Amino acid sequence: MAGGEQPKWAGAMFFPGAAPMQPANLGKFTKLVFAARSDGASALTVMVFAEQLGVAPLRKEIAVGREWAEHTVTFAELGGLEPHDVLGLFFGATQTGPFALELDDVRLE
């Protein structure tokens, strides 16, 4: 991206609150678990939006291949996020170019 451009990303977002971008207390959970596959070797970005973070989400990139594989992201991996005010969970691409991504069995544990 050139200087001054807005970040670009595409994917799917889950809003756990009563309405989109309303906080939800996910404190009884410690991790996010899901299965994923892509159209080739590509990176999936998981972003967690929370009131405590302001406008900048925490993010983790995960390598995803053509075969289904289970992935786990703990809240501890995300800078020790206290999940008491989660606004949204994003799954998608943050790199330019076409991509295909499939998710299944997404759950909080």
63-79 pLDDT, tens digit per residue, is 999 999 999 999 999 88
3-state secondary structure of 52: helix
Distance separating alpha carbons of residues 85 and 51, to the nearest angstrom:
6
Token pair, residue 10, equals 């595409």
Higher pLDDT, 40 or 27: 27
Q: Which residue has the higher pLDDT, 46 or 41?
A: 46
pTM beyond 0.95: no
How far is Cα 109 from Cα 88, in angstroms, rounded to an integer? 16
3-state secondary structure of 25: coil
Interval 68-93 mean pLDDT:
92
Q: Which whole-number Å values give the CA distances from 19 to 13, 22, 24, 33, 75, in the listed order?
A: 13, 5, 10, 23, 22
| Mean pLDDT taken over the chain | 89
Mean pLDDT of 1-14: 70
Tell me the pLDDT band of 1, cut-offs 50, 70 and 90: very low
